[in-house]
Chains A and B, each alone.
Chain A
Amino acid sequence: MADHISVQGHPGSVTSTDDRETASAVVKPPALALGPLGWVRANLFNTWFNSILTILILWLAYKIIPPLVNWLIINSVGPGEGVTAQACRASGGACWAFIHEKYRLILFGLYPYEEQWRPIASILIIVGLLGVSSNRNFWKPWLLAVWAAAAVVIGVLMWGGVLGLPFVRNTLWGGLPLTLILSVVGLVVAFPLSILLALGRRSDLPIVKSLCVTYIELIRGVPLITVLFMASVMFPLFLPTGVTIDKLLRAQIGLILFASAYLAEVIRGGLQAIPKGQYEAADSLGLTYWQKTRKIILPQALSITIPPLVNTFIGFFKDTSLVIIIGLFDLMSASKAALTDPAWRGFYKESYLFVAVVYFAFCFFMSKYSQWLENELHRGHKR
């Protein structure tokens, strides 16, 4: 951007008829070096390579954008009375009527239709709680109590059976609340577990150390799908006949096991980055192991591991969609189920786009928040 400023001051070969009358007048640069046209010349066509790139990109945009706008907006079929799948197919554009017809199935899965205000309320509580918790001023012990209370409220809302709410089995939970519950509960439980695992792996106690190393390497050595399969397909066979453990619970435990192994290694990275002097200083102050860890080591280690932690969080949030293979209707699998209605077949693009937007909203929030938090916590030693 800085280039074109110098161009404006360039004394061009201007042939002005007014030269003699206004000798002191500023000589104007050539028209081509001025304004938007000048900017384009200076930045987009300044070398033959950039010119080719510019033309290529313009050509691509010409090829992509008009059909996309046509599909997304101009030819699209919005919701309306009596808009059918046939009308959608005839239009050649996006079928937003499909999303209108199916958004409740996609967002809430098989949750009873009349009771769907309950998952909505649960989502709002979770999102609100995440919002409150992201503010550092609220990082007080009472926040834990708020979380515990919220967990109870969400449990009551989702299950019901009390306060006049009809009971809803958790096999009927689905869509966005299921995705949020699986990932939030997964991370909330896995995070402390992973801190213990990371500390254990760096411990001097041989048994603790080898247990932690075995756990981490074992879980990290297998794909998440395998863990979920073990939890849902193999595990029931070990149980006595007739005893069944809730499918959702099995999946949740599988996800926790998996997330904790990955997070443990991220946190161990942070622990290793703390200079040895910090440990020695804490020791010389006479702090016990747990005091040292809690007050000196972890605060520093966690704050430097924010980028990889959030990376893992985001990855984990999306990984929950793998529960599709064990027949749970999370956001992703509910959208696939919506596509199997014989009356509304073939609207894959609309369905996936809708789900992608929801996932993106959450992941983008996490990413932005982590950047802000990094800034907050690194004030002391930012360069």
Chain B
Amino acid sequence: MKTKIIAAIGTALAIAFGGGAASAGPTLNAVKQKGFVQCGVNTGLPGFSNPDSQGNWTGLDVDVCRAVAAAIFGDAKAVRFTPLSAQQRFTALQSGEIDILSRNTTWTLTRDTSLGLNFAPTTFYDGQGFMVPKALGVKSATELNGATVCVQPGTTTELNLADYFRAKGMQFNPVVIESFDEVNAAFFAGRCDVYTTDASGMASIRSTLAANPDDYIILPELISKEPLGPAVRHGDDEFFDIVKWAVYASIEAEEKGISSANVDEMVKSQDPTVQRLLGSNPGMGQALGLDEKWAYNIVKLVGNYGEIFERNVGVKTSLKLERGPNGLWTNGGLMYAPPIR
């Protein structure tokens, strides 16, 4: 009853406000019609999606959306960002408020199935790790029996921690602190022996918040798998394909040594795989329902995967992440694009 009244008022006001873009049919048509990709991102996660001082979105998750926009429109700016909290993100995608969810979302079976999402390839392999003071003399997570561990409550981090210690038959004393800032402060103030959180965040926390970053080491073990990637709605296979291959194209480009700097020369390459990728040998764009320049535009306007990684989270940024599992398969990483042919 009340909802209906609200709905009626809301709809009337929404029309007055000029909102309420009704769209039917496959996402791709709707996207092409409105002329931009609506992309759901994190309200602020350093290196993945955060507004810079001018209010422009930057980050790895943001660049994934820009790559999709570049593939569809040949314009990396044809994208609008909707900052989303963790609770909102799936509703926003399901209700059609956004076209792509690129918000450090872990790909799990239940999300892929019962939530009605389709996960495009993983753009960042994360995992939960441990950080300890060097003075503790610990070299491996298996030596942590009896340790006090700083952890944030209510996250999968806390559950993974308990799982790991139980599986190893070890004891630990959790120091559970709600706020992210406070849990960081507590660890560096020496409240606990070990700090556990996502490995991607750990290096940057160490480099920015520790009095002397060299006093702390990150243990080699990762105790959980967190493959983070963009997701789209079920039932829009055409659009899903585009998001999927936009990510693959950026990985393939890195493997073939194509970067935003040399892409214009590489167009003239004699390598058939490069020719197919960059559209000098047409066919791939047509198969996706896009312009033949789709991959060229991704590399030219956004960069290959390596460039995206290094620009946002790489060793030159304050996050100081090594490629590790996010390296190309040819370098022992997990980034592997199926053949583009």
The chain A residues found within 8 Å of chain B, CB to CB, are: 85, 89, 101-102, 104-105, 108-113, 169-172, 218, 229, 232-239, 241-247, 249-250, 253, 324-327, 329, 333, 336-343, 345-346, 348
Contacts and interface: CB of A to CB of B under 8 A. Distances in A.
Nearest to A244: B97
B23 interface: yes
Given A105-B53, A239-B7, A245-B14, 6 more contacts: A111-B55, A113-B54, A238-B3, A246-B19, A249-B17, A336-B44
Nearest to A111: B55
Given A89-B208, A325-B85, A337-B51, A242 B22 contact: yes
Most B CB contacts (10 A, CB to CB) among A170, A229, A234, A249 go to A249
Contacts of B317: 342-343
Contacts of A244: 19-21, 95-97
A341 B45 CA distance: 8
A142 to B, nearest CB: 25
Q: Give the secondary structure class of A's interface.
A: helix
Nearest to A334: B51
B85 A242 contact: no
Contact of B6 (A232, A235, A247, A325): A235
B80 interface: yes
Contacts of A108: 55
Contact of B83 (A89, A245, A327): A327
Given A101-B53, A242-B23, A236 B43 contact: no
23 contacts: A85-B208, A104-B55, A105-B54, A110-B55, A111-B55, A171-B80, A236-B91, A236-B92, A237-B91, A241-B96, A244-B21, A245-B10, A245-B19, A246-B17, A247-B97, A250-B10, A253-B6, A326-B85, A326-B88, A337-B43, A342-B46, A345-B46, A345-B318
Nearest to A218: B2
A235 B44 CA distance: 24
- Give chain B's interface residue range (CB within 8 Å of chain A): 35 or more
A245 B87 contact: no
Contacts of B91: 233-234, 236-237
Contacts of B122: none
A337 B44 contact: yes
Interface string B21-58: 11110000010000000000001111100111111100
A249 B53 CA distance: 27
A345 B208 contact: yes
Task: Give the 5 A-B CB pairs with smallest separation, nearest first.
Answer: A340-B44, A246-B19, A340-B50, A236-B95, A245-B14
A348 B180 CA distance: 11
B17 A170 contact: yes
Contacts of B45: 340
A239 B21 CA distance: 13
Given A112-B55, A249-B13, A345-B204, A243 B20 contact: yes
A112 to B, nearest CB: 7
A337 B17 CA distance: 27
A114 to B, nearest CB: 9
B160 interface: no
Nearest to B86: A325
Nearest to A347: B208
B55 A105 contact: yes
A199 to B, nearest CB: 20
A177 to B, nearest CB: 13
Most B CB contacts (10 A, CB to CB) among A101, A236, A324 go to A236
Interface in B317-332: 317-319
A237 B87 CA distance: 14
A326 B7 CA distance: 19
